[in-house]
Amino acid sequence: MTKTAVGLFEDSGLVDGVVRDLESNGILRNDIRVLSEPLEIAGEGVLSTPRTDFEVDLTHDLMALGVVQADAQAYVEGVQRGGVIVFATGQKAESAAEIMNRHGAVGIENVSGSESALPNIDHDPSSQSVGTISGARMFVW
């Protein structure tokens, strides 16, 4: 089973420090992914919907980790508002979540304004949230 810590940061200026701290704690750069909404998304053709495609892809990627749809939408909304998501995958995901929380990862309930799904409830038998809803969350998938 793979573990991934997911942290949403409203202040993109914090992310470089988060990544440095993750790396200094033994998390390989290849196991860290930083995602923000592209400033310019080139489209191909009149019917192109690159921004929507980006958001759908992000929702799909999050749900593949075990994030329920409502929470995935809250992450997408956070990114739409200028936030940045940091993913850390691997054996040290639990410590990565702690590091992200120390750096101010926001809870998705703070983004959406609604109550988040509770951790440890099986929404999909192959994956579940095992982290906190008040900051970075950890998923096992």
Give pLDDT, residue 91.
93
Give pLDDT, residue 135.
87
Look at domain 3-38+47-140 and name its CATH class: alpha beta
Give pLDDT, residue 59.
94
Element (H, E) at 31: none
Q: What does the pLDDT look like over 39-87, one tens digit per residue? A: 665 555 555 566 788 899 999 999 999 899 999 999 999 998 999 999 9
Element (H, E) at 39: none
Q: Mean of the per-residue pLDDT values for the chain? A: 80
Residue-range domain boundaries for the chain: 3-38+47-140
Give pLDDT, residue 126.
39
Q: How far is residue 102's CA from residue 98's CA, in Å, rounded to a whole number?
A: 6
Q: Pinpoint the alpha helices (H) of 12-130.
A: 15-24, 50-65, 69-80, 93-102, 108-112
- Here the tokens at position 81 are 């508002």
Q: Tokens 């038998």 map to which residue?
A: 125
Give pLDDT, residue 128.
42
Q: pTM, whole model, 2 decimals?
A: 0.77
The one-letter code for the residue type at 89 is T
If pLDDT is split at 50, 70 and 90, which confidence band does 35 have? very high
Give pLDDT, residue 141.
75
Give pLDDT, residue 43.
56
